[in-house]
Amino acid sequence: MLDVFFLNKNQIITTAAILLALWILQFIMKKAAHRVGHRSEIHITRTRLMFKYINILVTIIAIFLLSLTWGYNAQEIALIFSSLFAIIGVAMFAIWSILSNITAGIILFFSFPYKIGSRIKIHDKDMPVEAVIEDIKAFHLHLRTLDGELITYPNNLILQKAVSLIEKEYHADEGKDAL
């Protein structure tokens, strides 16, 4: 056992340093995302979604750095990663809108001025929508219209359309004819 340690002492120490540095980076990124979420009064489920994205990013970086540490050639690693991303890219080409919605979800997390419970109007010439935001997911928004209809609106479209905040308070019976 000691022979294995002494033979690989440099790699083991470097591995420990990389893991510690990435753990600290992950902690800082999660703390920053939590602070942004708390300061902007973003719902905790959206903040947890950012935590998942941070975990994926740190894992990819860890795999890359640990592969270099344990003796893989940089060109071999680049070939593996480029092949993997090419396969993923070809596979995702058919479902590119999912990627754009995830990216839009990340942008919405940091810069969307409306929150869950906000009453908004989406200025779309084909289908204007006035609704209350019920939930903001990774791929879409859940909007509840004045008639009680639930609409799922893609994140990438909400960034492309003009959206205005309706200041008056929302009432459940609003928009229905009085009896």
Q: What local confidence, expressed as pLDDT, does residue 92 receive?
A: 64
| pLDDT of res. 116 | 83
pTM: 0.54
pLDDT score recorded for residue 179: 38
pLDDT given for residue 168 in this prediction: 46
Of the candidates 115, 123, 113, the one whose C-alpha atom is nearest the C-alpha of residue 160 is 123
Report the alpha-carbon distance of residue 165 to residue 114 in Å, rounded: 8
Which secondary-structure segment (H or E) carries 115? Answer: none
User: Low-confidence residues of the chain, pLDDT below 50?
Assistant: 168-169, 171-179
H helices of the chain, in order, are 2-7, 9-39, 44-69, 74-93, 96-111, 155-160
* pLDDT the model gives residue 22: 93
Q: What pLDDT was estimated at residue 93? A: 66
Domain ranges of the chain: 2-94, 114-165
Tokens (6 digits) for 29: 């990124």
Q: Which residues contact 89 (CB under 8 A, 6 or more apart)?
A: none
Average pLDDT over the chain, rounded to an integer? 82
Pick the CATH number of 114-165 from 1.10.3720.10, 3.40.50.300, 2.30.30.60, 3.90.226.10: 2.30.30.60
Predicted pLDDT of residue 155: 87
